[in-house]
Amino acid sequence: MKRITGLLLALVLVLGMGAAARAEVPAASGVAYEIFVGSFADSDGDGIGDLRGIERKLDYIASLGVDMIWLTPIHPSPSYHHYDVTDYYSVAPEFGTMADFDGLVSACAERGIGVILDLVVNHTSSEHPWFLAACAALGSGDDSLTGWYNFTQGAGEHDVPGMQGWFYEGRFGYHMPDLNLDSDAVRDEIAKIIAFWQGHGVSGFRLDATTSYYTGAPDGNAGFVRFITETARANDPDCYVVGECWADEQTILGLYGSGIPSLFNFPAADVNGLLVQAALNGRGAAVARRMAAWNESLRAVSPASQDAPFLTNHDMARARGMLRSDDAAMRTAAMLYLLLPGRPFVYYGEELGMSGSGRDENKRLPMLWSAAEGSANCLPPADADQKQRLKAGVAEQEGDGDSLLNWYRRLIALRALAPELARGSMAALDAGSDALCAFTVTDGTTVAVLINASSGETAAVDPAALGIENAALLGCAGVAAEDFVRDGALPPVSCALLRLETNG
């Protein structure tokens, strides 16, 4: 541990200076940031978040150190959430124009940030012109559009308006009719949609509802995910595709057989998931063991894919409530998911400790730019029945070196020092402590990640016992570098990254 060079030690001290950690954060952190567009930032005073609002907040987004943003659906829709699309080739008027979108993508590119869009193709809106025309054509002999949806006669899920005896499939409700994904015409249209947005500079897509493409047919789902992935990558070999598969590990592994670059790690997320429970009970060693086994299984199925760990998203209660509003638990959870191999996703406001639970609208409350009365935050979704409990927004946390916001910045900056974390293979280390999450990640070179998940106990670090005695310290969070080097220990809620030196 004493082999740290003066140059590396100086770098660590800069990273440990709180708000100053924002300066010169390396671009390739491999961390993405989810934005629920209507709740993020409003540029025109109507209370609804929009694309220009996001662009105006890009310096803030860049200060986090993320290198990708995921935008929830931006297309026209009759709903506030926009997961029932009426036009895949345009931007919802309340969000702006195509010129605004192009401006956002260009401004992101200048900052080294890619943009991925939600691709919602399991279903459309019941108000989509395709569906309206298909319903009108039923019984007329014109089947040019009726084959785009799953219509039946005699019995079915939802009645076709004005067509007695006709029904259609809509797994998410009558207002979201399912597309017939076996239709060549539908697949051709989806390919055009993908190419259209790639032509406007998007770096990838988040796939909504992958387990519902073919209800109860995992092989069908995997086949369609393969179609989307191959279609997108034929246009752009670097296109990043990440899928929502809210299911158990075996189902997720089956979908990885499609070759999709990433799937969200739902078993590790949410209130009963591995990460939140480890943060609450201080047992980091279990995270190292289980995530190493998971990553090995993932790589066995699809070696080129990478995990997508996260705590919560727009469909889940906010992490603050799950973690009992406990500052130490929120910081520990952040360490655990932001330093795992793969591409972690941060839900907007998670870096502040925002609240929200119950109905979906509460989980999508406005980004808290400031808690001061009269601040220019977005209006909450119309049916939200909770108010934001957090009393310190971006403005209040910016200058506080000990804030959760600056903790996130330090962790993401620390991660950016270890590019091995993007695609490397993970191996758990036995540190002899339930609290210490210790593992290595190898991708040509090897880094060691050490996280003390305990909120009350110091964890001793024995480099020789861990097999990392020939390692150089990359950086720390929650502990001064010189203290870690001198004491060989991590105090509660702290972490360190080291790179193993190679012979020759």
Pairing of the two strands 425-428 and 436-443: antiparallel
Q: Could you give the residue ranges of the DSSP H alpha helices within 117-262?
A: 129-137, 184-199, 218-235, 249-256
Cβ burial 20-53 (10 Å sphere, 16+ → b, else e): ebbeebeeebbbbbbbbbbbbbbbeeeebbbbbb
Q: CA distances (Å), 408 to each of 66, 438, 484, 501, in order?
A: 10, 20, 20, 28
Pairing of the two strands 345-347 and 32-35: parallel
Are 124 and 75 in contact, with CB atoms under 8 Å apart? no
The closest of 260, 251, 278, 294 to 335, measured between CA atoms, is 278
Residue 391 structure tokens: 């009393």
The closest of 319, 241, 193, 304 to 70, measured between CA atoms, is 241
CB neighbours of residue 182 within 10 Å = 13
Catalytic residue among 208, 350, 351, 396: 208
Q: Is 208 a catalytic residue?
A: yes
The closest of 97, 87, 95, 114 to 54, measured between CA atoms, is 95
| Contact residues for 61 (Cβ-Cβ < 8 A; gap 6+) | 33, 54, 69, 111, 113
The closest of 91, 29, 23, 28 to 59, measured between CA atoms, is 23
Q: What residues does 71 pair with on adjacent strands? A: 35, 117
Rounded to whole angstroms, the Cα distance separating 209 from 73 reads 13
DSSP string, 146-178: GGGB-EEES--SEEPTT-TTEEE--TT-TTSPB
Catalytic residue among 244, 270, 350, 396: 244
Q: Tell me the catalytic residues.
A: 208, 244
